[in-house]
Amino acid sequence: MIEADANEPRTMFDKIWDAHRVLEREDGQTLLYVDRHLVHDGSAPAFEMLRKRGISPRAPERTFATPDHYVSTDPTERAAMTNEENRGMVEALERNAAASGFRLFGLKDGNQGIVHVVGPETGISQPGMLIVCGDSHTSTHGALGALAFGIGATEVAHVLGSQTLWQRRPLTMRITVDGELGYGVTAKDVILAIIARIGTAGATGHVMEYAGSAIRGLSMEGRLTLCNMSIEAGGRAGMVAPDETTYAYIAGRDFAPKGADWDTELARWRRLPSDPAALFDREVTLDGGAIAPMVTWGNSPEDALPIDGSIPNPDDEPDAARRAIMADNFAYMGLTADTPLESIAVNRVFIGSCTNGRIEDLRAAAAIAQGRRVAEGVTAWVVPGSAPVKRQAEAEGLDRIFIEAGFDWREAGCSMCLGTNGEIAAPGERVASTSNRNFRGRQGPGARTHLMGPAMAAAAAIEGRLTDVRRLMKDA
């Protein structure tokens, strides 16, 4: 690897990037060594590229895979796998794992789940690593103090064949959120507030480091949610410096270092945080105490407002192009200006995804659902992010809470987050969703998606409309 000047103050990103540089070209491209390559059931084209060139994976021991995008989360359909195309995706992954020798958390494996849930909870993802996956939300793993980002199919093949990747060095951005988060405010609200502030292109070309007392106060699962949506702000990756919360989360997990190796790695991890004098290309600050429970109203994650607000009025927007976009959003979403957000009825609720499908997310949603019933006419699903999350939830009785409240309790997978497995909303249906994107068609042609946190989604299911969860929390 190329040595860097250890005396110059460096950001955490600088330290990880420099530690993984193999060589640099005159055009500014850098060849980086990849520590972990995560693969899912949409990776078949990359393996086919290798086969056509007669190349085998270079380091299969650094590759980990799980089916998630194309698997059904309905227990009966998952067992039958009647959809031939989706079954073919899963079987192709199984064949590639058998041929190449990489670790597969298959459908019958006790650790199967969404790849960005499986990585952290098994200890595969660790501080200081460079992690890639053919999925844009790979930024999730940055919550552990890793540099993690999504790559395309051709790049997946390149990493499989060489365990390296060409990249151009991005800029750095530090987003500092200080203060104490208010009652009912979660990591999902923090990241939606950040995106609403800087926009979906606000971090384009940057790696984002989240800092400040409000960030340090988040659990590891909250940090995973935060970093997951970095890509929605245009960021190449999102990161949180490792600390005692991080180390406690990793300790004892299946792929975590053990014994003397743990002590060695822990000492290295403690040197990763940005140096006090390190400079970032851009700085953004937010007051954590001013953030409220958030919900989106348009077709971009930046279209987010506090739940006690109203749909914005285009007449108040000075930019003509933005006014036109708002009008178009209103037409697609079936909304009108100045409508209170809490008056908007929903048809479906989806609680899950790599953003909010972890055990803390399900606990938060169950606390709202307990002793209540899903509103008439609302279809509500809870989809655990992994098989271990599902087992833990069932051990705690959360599944019974959801079922008794009228939610559908399902198997682990991506499900309605992107609908590639056929689990989608009908045209015109309004969805309260804990996923990461509200783009048109993301949850089905004509589906109208509102993003929010798990407790907020549970509240929407109970009330049948977008709801300020803080009222239900007081009643619980």
Q: Does 133 share its domain with 267?
A: yes
The domain spanning residue 315 has which CATH number? 3.30.499.10
Neighbouring residues of 113: CB distance < 8 A, sequence distance ≥ 6: 66, 68, 105, 121, 384, 385, 386, 387, 388, 389, 412, 413
pLDDT at residue 1 is higher than 80? no
Q: Is residue 6 part of a domain?
A: no
Q: How many domains does the chain have?
A: 2
Last residue of a domain, one of 246, 270, 292: 292
Q: Does 348 share its domain with 251?
A: no
| Diameter of the chain measured on Cα atoms | 64
Q: Is residue 52 part of a domain?
A: yes
Residue with tokens 């990037």, as numbered in its chain:
17
- % of residues, the chain, pLDDT over 70: 98
Q: 476 pLDDT band (50/70/90 cuts)?
A: low
Q: Does 62 share its domain with 114?
A: yes
For residue 381, which amino acid is it? W
Residue with tokens 């926009």, as numbered in its chain:
199
Q: Does 282 share its domain with 302?
A: no
How far, CA to CA in Å, does 204 sit from each of 50, 190, 209, 228, 463? 31, 19, 13, 15, 38
pLDDT at residue 414 is higher than 90? yes
Task: Write down the pLDDT at residue 427.
Answer: 97
pLDDT, mean over the chain: 97
Q: Does 451 share its domain with 329?
A: yes
Q: Is residue 4 part of a domain?
A: no
Q: Is residue 129 part of a domain?
A: yes
How far apart CA 24 and CA 14 sit, in angstroms, is: 15
The CB-based long-range contact list for 418-422 (8 Å cut-off, 24+ gap) reads 418/69, 418/442, 418/443, 419/443, 419/444, 420/42, 420/69, 420/70, 421/69, 421/70, 421/71, 421/72, 421/73, 421/83, 421/86, 422/72, 422/83, 422/86
Using alpha carbons only, what angle is made at residue 215 by residues 140 and 299, rounded to the nearest 5 degrees?
Answer: 55
Q: What's the full length of the chain, in residues? A: 476
Task: Write down the pLDDT at residue 93.
Answer: 98
Task: Write down the pLDDT at residue 391.
Answer: 98
**pLDDT digits 0-9 by tens, 261-290:** 999 999 999 999 999 999 999 999 999 999
Residue with tokens 């997978």, as numbered in its chain:
413
pLDDT at residue 317 is higher than 80? yes
Q: Is residue 358 part of a domain?
A: yes
Q: Does 39 share its domain with 29?
A: yes
Last residue of a domain, one of 292, 323, 351: 292
Residue with tokens 């039958």, as numbered in its chain:
80
Q: Is residue 242 part of a domain?
A: yes
Q: Is residue 5 part of a domain?
A: no
Q: Is residue 234 part of a domain?
A: yes
Last residue of a domain, one of 292, 326, 359: 292
Token couple for 310:
């109203």
Q: Does 264 share its domain with 132?
A: yes
In DSSP terms, 372 is beta-bridged to: none
Question: Which residues form the domain of 341?
Answer: 294-475
* Nearest partner of 186 among 459, 439, 384, 406, judged by Cα: 459
Residue 211: φ, ψ to 5°: -140, 175
Q: Does 321 share its domain with 190?
A: no
User: Beta-carbon neighbour count of residue 377 at 10 Å?
Assistant: 9
**pLDDT digits 0-9 by tens, 104-138:** 999 999 999 999 999 999 999 999 999 999 999 99
**pLDDT digits 0-9 by tens, 21-51:** 999 999 999 999 999 999 999 999 999 999 9
Q: Does 360 share its domain with 227?
A: no
Stronger pLDDT, 5 or 411, i.e. the higher one: 411
**pLDDT digits 0-9 by tens, 143-157:** 999 999 999 999 999
Burial readout 135-151 (b: 16 or more C-beta within 10 A, e: otherwise): bbbbbbbbbbbbbbbbb
Task: Write down the pLDDT at residue 5.
Answer: 60
Q: Does 337 share its domain with 247?
A: no
Q: Does 281 share its domain with 370?
A: no
Q: 7 pLDDT band (50/70/90 cuts)?
A: confident
How far apart CA 464 and CA 237 sit, in angstroms, is: 35
Q: Is 9 within 8 Å of 279 (Cβ atoms)?
A: yes
* Nearest partner of 199 among 222, 173, 224, 217, judged by Cα: 173
Query: For 105-202, where are the alpha helices, taking DSSP H only?
Result: 115-122, 153-162, 187-198
pLDDT at residue 475 is higher than 70? no
* Helices and strands of the chain, counted as H and E runs: 18, 19
Q: Does 336 share its domain with 395?
A: yes
How far apart CA 334 and CA 29 sit, in angstroms, is: 46
